[in-house]
Structure 1
């Protein structure tokens, strides 16, 4: 079956790819090729039980190595696993803007009725019209957009190369939407932005291609962060991996560090959902190791490094500290957050960093709220909450996050009324932040808490 065979656009295949259910997709293809589980496991150098768990979803199939191996063994078009473009045609551009002809589209391109039909099938299955993310077209009617669309953007969204300045402007606007907690608008815009970034990178050569790769990495990083907000962990991990691949191509150490941080966050969240303690501890320790090693690789632990480098270093340590709290390692968590505080003191500016990794003494204090709440020291967490001046936080997303973390601390401290006040302040900053699944669960827990339900909490429930 070549890449244009109708089998690859069947509802079962398209839906599995759109929802990132790669194990299920592999099982469908294996059965269609009349191969046994043992035959495929042997060719992939996997145990029978491991492959079986991957196919049934008991073990998430997200490791790029296994995805590539299964793609080769089962002859699955790589783009269905999110591994490769569907086409490489059009002209490339040199850094000076002159074109370089590099050939024609390979099978599976977006030309003709077949490509349009496949886009329409995908749109119907994942609940979002791909055209809805394109300029000048109708927006999807559903309240929530499909985050899976951003993973399929390269093969499903038509796009043409644009100059780096144009791509950078679009990326800045997407970053603004994230920082303003305009998550619905961002989820509509990201697929087209990612597709355009892919097209622009593929059409470039030399140093320009490296800079386009950095932009692509940042676009996927936004997708990963958005997926984390919506608790779509599989999407977040795949997007983080793609961000890291593009970052490696760019050669920019700060972009690589940012994507490594996203991968580590995905590892942490995956570990926390593991049923076995040994898997949970291994995943959390792996995330902490990745974060601390990446931080040290920046070389910002001493001397006078550039501001952005030091900011990235501090942000990585904050995330590592919070990961250590999830593992119950108080000493490690405190040591890491104290090192982050030292990095903040070494910064001359109060707003530094890249994207939403902006870093300062105030953002470290916000991390302190979550760290000490998770460690069970809510009194200390609330001390840091009281010390935070929201005006010194760089975005609505950061301000809302501080108030939500404060609400958790107050709730665990036994004061539902003050927790409600903090959530109302978060709503005033960014209403969509309170629609996140984790915040909705917090509100539900406050409603179910023993004692009188404050009138302000009932009003908040109606607001949200």
Structure 2
């Protein structure tokens, strides 16, 4: 169980730590790690009966020596045993990732036992409050609920700060889940990850706080992208806005660009649902303007900018081109996608922007499929699909997305069988991608198409 595992923030653990019930806490951890009483007693050089009495509370576990030993053997974070100050709003983090305690630390050594007793008294004073609050706010959320839970994470998920390297690793793992289309797992992980990012930022100062803000922005960005996948547009827009606020606090232009792209996607999707044409046009034009201005602010339109900068520039233009296509502006859409192609040619290697904004000549070709299908030129869209080598796409999510876009193009082109085949290949890449509401509607439309239903489509209906 790593530092971000939900176990450490569960009501049982936090209540035991807050009330200095260290024996029951040790027993809960031992059970979670699937260790027997005999195994732990042997490693701690304790008799079975002594350890058993400690775990059940018959013998108070207050000896600093035994607390330290159990903490090491069971890999319990020291602050849960009162052996180190817990990170709170009164603690800050140095730029090297270490804590700067601005409160009063509890010393070890000669005065350790007395310090432990003082800590127990203080814990008893606050224990009732903590126990009263946490049980109602630490519910495990799953599926649909968790998308709203990520917006409430800061207040409802107990979390402690972690070093930047730990937070970055957790974000990288979450990003890999998105790219593998493991959306159900990701939706369960994100609230705790966001809460931890908030706690880490709040406990930091100076440049470290700026870097933690960038990490928080990435966490919310991932939440926004996941909400878009599930067509939860309100959640996506709020998460994108929070990502942008954290990005501005970081001062990192690439992080700001990524969050701006997410906001523009939200604007575009909201505009497409508008009942009045004037609102629709205004929303789409606003999204296009935001995307193009953000791209130009990167200063990557000429010269030899760094690869991440150029990749972000190209990704923003691809998104702007698709938005222009949805607004029916062919000239603007083509001009933007051609500039994105030019950016891809200038890349010395495959590049990636922040979040899901991977960029290469191949990803531009995939965007071309959607752009030209939307503009009504499915023959040209399918020409670009034929030019795509799926193995060159950076993730299962991107490969599945390419096949889904091709399926839409084949449907509009009047070839249900090849559309079904493209969806079948998308399913092989990433089954959860076909569970998206928009893809389910596409499958339904293909089933309802006149004529014979292809066998591959019938099989796909049963698999999804």
If the TM-score is normalised by the length of the shorter chain, which range does it land in? 0.7 to 0.9
Q: How far apart, in 2, do the equivalents of 1:416 and 1:121 lie?
A: 72
Q: 1:89 to 1:10 in 2, by over 3 A?
A: closer
> How far is the alpha carbon of 1:402 from its aligned partner?
0.1
- Deviating more after overlay: 277-286 vs 101-110: 101-110
Q: 1:190 maps to what in 2?
A: 190
Moved more, 82-91 or 310-319: 82-91
* SS, match of residue 144 in structure 2: coil
Residue 43 of structure 1 and its aligned partner are, at CA, apart by 66
CA–CA distance in structure 2, aligned partners of residues 86 and 72 of structure 1: 17
CA contact (8 A) 2:378 2:412 kept: yes
Deviations 1:61-83 (A, max 9, x none): 99999999999999999999999
1:243-279 residue CA offsets vs partner (Å, 9 max, x unmatched): 0000000000000000000000000000001111101
**CA–CA distance in 2 between the matches of 1:133 and 1:316?**
43
CA distance in 1, matches of 2:326, 2:82: 30
C-alpha distance in structure 1 between counterparts of 2:445 and 2:410, whole Å: 12
Contact 2:365 2:388 (C-alpha < 8 Å) held by counterparts: yes
Identify unmatched segments of 5+ residues in structure 1.
none
Larger Rg: 2
Pick closer, same or farther for the CA change 1:2–1:295 going to 2, 3 Å. Answer: closer
TM-align CA RMSD: 17.0
| 8 Å CA contact retained: 2:311, 2:358 | yes
Q: Distance in 1 between matches of 2:437 and 2:7?
A: 36
Judging changes above 3 Å, is the alpha-carbon distance between structure 1 residues 339 and 411 closer, same or farther for their aligned structure 2 residues? same
CA separation in 1, counterparts of 2:53 and 2:279?
A: 15
Residue by residue over 1:205-263, the C-alpha shift from the partner in whole angstroms, topping out at 9 and shown as x without a partner, is: 01111100000000000000000000000000000000000000000000000000000
Contact 1:23 1:55 in 2 (8 A): yes
Q: What is the CA-CA distance between 1:134 and the residue it aligns to?
A: 13
Residue 21 to residue 251, structure 1, CA distance change in 2 (3 Å): farther
Normalising to structure 1: TM-score of the pair?
A: 0.74
Note closer, same or farther for the CA distance 1:7–1:257 as it changes in structure 2 (3 Å cut).
closer
Change (3 A) 1:118 1:167: farther
Q: Is the 8 A contact 2:106 2:115 kept in 1?
A: no
Q: Matched residues in 2 for 1:35 and 1:284: separation?
A: 58
Correspondence for 2:238: 238
- Partner residue of 1:148? 148
Q: Is the 8 A contact 2:194 2:216 kept in 1?
A: yes
Shift of the 299–94 alpha-carbon distance from structure 1 to 2, 3 Å rule, reads same
Residues 26 and 55 in structure 2, CA contact (< 8 A), matched pair in contact too: yes
C-alpha displacement at 1:102, in angstroms?
Answer: 6.2
- Quote the offset at 1:166 in angstroms: 0.2
Listed one character per residue, the Cα deviations across residues 289-321 of structure 1 (whole Å, up to 9, x for unaligned) are 000000000000011111110000000000000
Q: Which runs of 5+ in 2 are unaligned?
A: none
Alpha-carbon displacement from aligned partner over 1:328-364 (angstroms, at most 9, x marks no partner):
0000000000000000000011343333211000000
What TM-score do the two structures reach when normalised by structure 2? 0.74
Q: Are residues 16 and 93 of structure 1, via their aligned partners in 2, closer, same or farther at CA, if it must alter by over 3 Å?
A: closer
Residues 296, 246 of structure 1: alpha-carbon distance in 2 compared, 3 angstrom cutoff: same
* Aligned 8 A contact 1:110 1:158 in 2: no
Of 85-94 and 261-270, deviating more is: 85-94
For residues 142 and 269 of structure 2, the distance between their equivalents in structure 1, rounded to whole angstroms, comes to: 27
Give how far 1:450 is off: 1.3
- Give the C-alpha shift of residue 146 in structure 1: 2.3
Residues 110/153 of structure 1: CA separation in 2 closer, same or farther (3 Å cut): farther
What are the superposed Cα offsets for residues 5-41 of structure 1, whole Å, 9 maximum, x if unpaired?
9999999999999999999999999999999999999
Cα distance, 1:128–1:228 mapped onto 2, change above 3 Å: farther
- 8 Å CA contact 1:291–1:316 kept in 2: the answer is yes
| Cα distance change of structure 1 residues 383 and 87 upon mapping to structure 2, 3 Å threshold | same
Task: Name the SS of the counterpart of 2:92 in structure 1.
Answer: strand
Further displaced range: 127-136 or 280-289: 127-136
Q: What does 1:4-403 correspond to in 2, within 5 Å?
A: 89-97=89-97, 99-100=99-100, 144-403=144-403
- The alignment of Structure 1 onto Structure 2 pairs a total of residues equal to 464
CA displacement 1:148-190 (0-9 Å, x = unmatched):
0000000000000000000000000000000000000000000
Kept after mapping to 2: 8 A contact 1:93/1:204: yes
